């Protein structure tokens, strides 16, 4: 089907601009505009929102977001080769696309955008979890964003939505589920991308809650989960030794057996432990 935005099909764009995918930049492009529009729709109504897109590449998802009515899109791209293509999209959608050439890890979107903000991206795998962790870790809550709609390798998506006791359960699950609700909304086979990656991918939709599910101090919860899952096979009394000298007493006070292991602890139990650890 021909694109409805008057811009050339993505395969033609790639060929014309010589955009051969670079592995070091995590480049696996989505060239089907029906698919990118479908991903954009997973983010909900975009008409009253500004959107941050990390890594627009040749702009397939960017075009999806704009066609689906995003108020404004900030696209942060590291690869200078993509800038002329993105410039053409900017011209097709006057006043609605801002392009920043740079590293998303070093750009503060709030210098460019206004709330409410949604983040929608087909993330480069090499910085995906680092960005997600940063978005989930601000000390104050609710954060600047209302939702994240992000493409990950399936294995990372499973870690985000994992339940206690499962193999995928870890710090990412606790961080994602404490102050937000996360679910997998789409699965994509390798063939959906050019070039196809080795693994399946999934889109995760994360909605920021107004308040955390259980009370805890963010700083302490993050410290406790880092130590506990840093040595996930060890008993908590050993893995958390460095967190507090009297950690066994604090574990017991939180209703947790010191011989238990991090992977079996519920979110509620981690929050109870963080409260005990924060106690003077």
Q: Which residues bind ligand SAM (CB under 6 A)?
A: 25-30, 54-57, 60-61, 76-79, 82, 103-105, 122, 124, 127
For residue 24, the minimal CB distance to ligand SAM (Å) is 8
Instruction: Give the nearer residue to ligand SAM in terms of CB position, either 29 or 222.
Output: 29
Judging by beta carbons within 10 Å of its beta carbon (0-12, 13-18, 19+), is residue 184 exposed, middle or buried?
A: middle
For residue 147, the minimal CB distance to ligand SAM (Å) is 18
Q: Which residues contact 220 (CB under 8 A, 6 or more apart)?
A: 274, 275, 277, 278
Instruction: Give the nearer residue to ligand SAM in terms of CB position, either 29 or 145.
Output: 29
Residues in the chain: 280
Judging by beta carbons within 10 Å of its beta carbon (0-12, 13-18, 19+), is residue 225 exposed, middle or buried?
A: buried
For residue 192, the minimal CB distance to ligand SAM (Å) is 10
- 218 near 134, Cβ under 8 Å? no
Instruction: Give the nearer residue to ligand SAM in terms of CB position, either 41 or 264.
Output: 41
Position with the least CB separation from ligand SAM: 55
For residue 257, the minimal CB distance to ligand SAM (Å) is 42
Measure the CA–CA gap between 134 and 131, rounded to whole angstroms: 5
Instruction: Give the nearer residue to ligand SAM in terms of CB position, either 11 or 226.
Output: 11
């Amino acid at each position: 089907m021909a694109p409805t935005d008057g811009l050339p099909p993505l395969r033609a764009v790639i060929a014309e601009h010589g955009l051969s995918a670079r592995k070091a930049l995590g480049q696996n492009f989505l060239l089907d505009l029906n698919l990118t529009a479908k991903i954009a729709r997973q983010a909900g109504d975009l008409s009253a929102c500004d959107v941050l897109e990390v890594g627009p590449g040749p702009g397939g998802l960017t075009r999806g977001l704009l066609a689906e009515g995003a108020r404004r899109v900030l696209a942060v791209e590291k690869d200078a080769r993509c800038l002329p293509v993105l410039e053409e999209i900017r011209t097709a959608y006057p006043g609605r696309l801002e392009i920043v050439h740079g590293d998303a890890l070093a750009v503060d979107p709030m210098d460019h955008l206004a709330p409410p903000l949604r983040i929608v991206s087909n993330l480069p795998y090499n910085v995906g979890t680092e960005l997600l962790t940063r978005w989930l870790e601000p000390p104050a809550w609710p954060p600047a964003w209302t939702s994240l709609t992000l493409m990950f390798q399936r294995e990372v998506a499973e870690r985000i939505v994992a339940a206690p006791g499962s193999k995928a359960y870890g710090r990412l699950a606790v961080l994602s589920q404490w102050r937000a609700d996360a679910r997998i909304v789409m699965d994509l086979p390798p063939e959906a991308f050019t070039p196809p990656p080795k693994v399946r991918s999934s889109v995760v939709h994360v909605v920021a809650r107004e308040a955390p599910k259980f009370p805890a101090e963010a700083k302490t919860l993050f410290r406790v989960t880092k130590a506990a899952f840093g040595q996930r096979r060890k008993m908590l009394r050993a893995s958390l030794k460095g967190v507090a000298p009297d950690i066994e007493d604090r574990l017991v006070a939180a209703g947790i057996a010191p011989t238990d292991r991090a992977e079996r602890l519920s979110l509620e139990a981690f929050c109870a432990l963080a409260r005990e650890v924060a106690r003077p």
